[in-house]
Each structure stands twice: as C-alpha cells, then as structure tokens.
Amino acid sequence: MDTLSSILLGIVQGLTEFLPISSSGHLVLFQNLLGFHEPELLLDTSLHIGTLAAVLLYFRGDVAAMLGELRDMAAPRGEEASRRSLAERIRGSMVVWVIVGNIPTALIGLGFRAPLERMFGSVSLVGAMLLVTGLLLVLTRFVPAGDRRLGALAVLAVGTAQGLAIIPGISRSGATIACGLLFGLDRDLAARFSFLLSIPAIMGALILQVAAEGGNGPGVFVLLAGGGTAALVGLFALKVLMGMVRRGRISWFAPYCGLVGLAVLLLPLFF
C-alpha cells in the first residue's frame, strides 16, 4: 500500500461514508481494482477514524451537549433533580439513546465478527447488497415527513441496522437514516442520530482492529494520509447529505446504488 493509493481510498471513504452508497462496499471494489485482494483492515479503520473526525467537527454542538449530559449523570443529584422520573430523563437524553442504540450493534459485531469480515473478499456480495441499499432508499420516498421523538423501538431498530451495515454494500448511513424515517422520526433527527450513533461504534471497531492486527499493516504516514483525506472529503459529503435529508431527497441516491450493484453482478458474465 503506497501513499497515493491511501489518499485515493481516503477520497472514496470520505464521499461514501456519508453519502448513502456504502463506504465498505466501495472500498472492497477499489481495493480489488488497485490489486489489493486481501482486505487492508487496519487501513479501513484509519479511514473510518478520519470520517469520525468529520462527524465530531460537524456535530460538535451535539457532542458537547452529550458530554454535558454525561457530566450531569456523574454529578450528585439534588433534591429537585431526584424527583425526575427515570423515564423522563431517558426520553430527553441523546447520550442514553446512543448507548442503547449501540447495544444491538455491539452484539452483532462481536457475535458475528469473523464471518462478517470474510465477506470483505466477495465482490459479488457487494453488488447484491448495493441493490438492497438502493431498495431501502427507494422506500424512504414513500414515507411522509415524520415528527416523532426517539423511542426504544426506533432506537433499537436503527442500532440493528447499523450492526448489519458491516456487511459490505449495505450503507451504514443509508440503512440507519432510512430506518429512522420508516419509524416516523423527524428528518433532521433521523440523520443526526444516525451519525451520533456511529461515534462509539467506530471507536469500538478501532480498538478491536488494533488489537487484532497487533500493529501490523501500512506505515503510519500512509494511514495518516488516508485518514486525513477521508476527514476533509467527509466534511464536504456530510454537509451535502444533511441538506438532502432535510429536503427529503435521500432516495436520489437509489439509482446509483442500483446501477453499480447491477454492474458488479453482471460484468463478470461478459468479461
């Protein structure tokens, strides 16, 4: 893996992590095109850390509020605060919902990690799962704008969608935002929750990957080049996607997913 290839994959990651067209699927395709038939998992993780930095910067207000909630939870409660019911505190706490939503993600990731990682070598699977992503995006076109708040059922469903999105070709952002919209969440809330939910999931994946790789893989400069590129490009893509979700246009990405998915499945039949 050289620096130029890392930067190219960083551009791909930055665009596809937030646009609902599957970053993992595109990384598998580009790795194969560049001749990297074995998955560069440590590089994949560094690219995700780059886009994590973009999330933290773009949603810095939400992240600051969540850190404030954690501080308040750790502080001793006064008499007035103690009167608030547990249910009331949960309903108003984004950080609690992020923790709850990551429970199914963690269970899927830890319980099925080995077979899911083996899927990263299958280009045909990427094509099939891109078709699934396109279908999810099409469904959002028929869902009216919702106004519901976060609730246990919606949060667990979105967290499950995030866990399943480890399969290359299923877009994490597309699956989680579509799931939130199907459960009637406000468009802006569905998108914000999707990306806030990704923060602990990406951090957990990083810890597991570094432990598994034992420090082996591309050099530090190569990892930094890819991660930095992913962060810069990701900020741009994130701004574009948030605007499209708020205008109810996330389904516009469905044709792209469908065309690429079909191309991946059909081209081997002719070449």
Among 156, 213, 144, 210, which Cα is nearest to 181's? 144
The one-letter code for the residue type at 185 is L
pLDDT at 132 > cutoff 70: yes
pLDDT category at 130 given cuts 50, 70, 90 is very high
- Tell me the average pLDDT across 92-100: 89
Note the pLDDT tens digit of each residue in 200-216: 988 887 777 667 665 55
Give the gyration radius of the chain's Cα atoms: 19
pLDDT at 266: 92
Q: Please give the angle made by the CA atoms of 135, 140 and 145, to the nearest 5 degrees.
A: 175
pLDDT at 133 > cutoff 60: yes
DSSP notation for 15-55:
HHHHTTS-HHHHHHHHHHHTT--S--HHHHHHHHHHHHHHH
DSSP notation for 66-104:
HHHHHHHHHSPP-HHHHTS-HHHHHHT-HHHHHHHHHHH
Contact 101, 185 (CB under 8 A): no
Average pLDDT, the chain: 85
pLDDT at 209: 67
- Tell me the average pLDDT across 249-260: 95
Dihedral Cα 19, 24, 28, 33, nearest 10 deg? 30
pLDDT at 81 > cutoff 60: no
- Tell me the average pLDDT across 245-265: 94
pLDDT at 106: 92
**Local structure of residue 118 (DSSP, 8 states):** H
Q: Is the dihedral of CA 201, 163, 12, 118 positive or negative?
A: positive
pTM of the model: 0.87
- Tell me the average pLDDT across 147-155: 92
Share of the chain above pLDDT 90, in %: 52
List, in order, residues 6 or more apart from 190 with CB less than 8 Å away.
146, 177, 180, 181, 245
Note the pLDDT tens digit of each residue in 30-73: 777 767 655 466 777 788 889 999 999 999 999 999 998 888 77
| Residue 148, φ and ψ in degrees, nearest 5 | -75, 155
The one-letter code for the residue type at 181 is L
Contact 138, 254 (CB under 8 A): yes
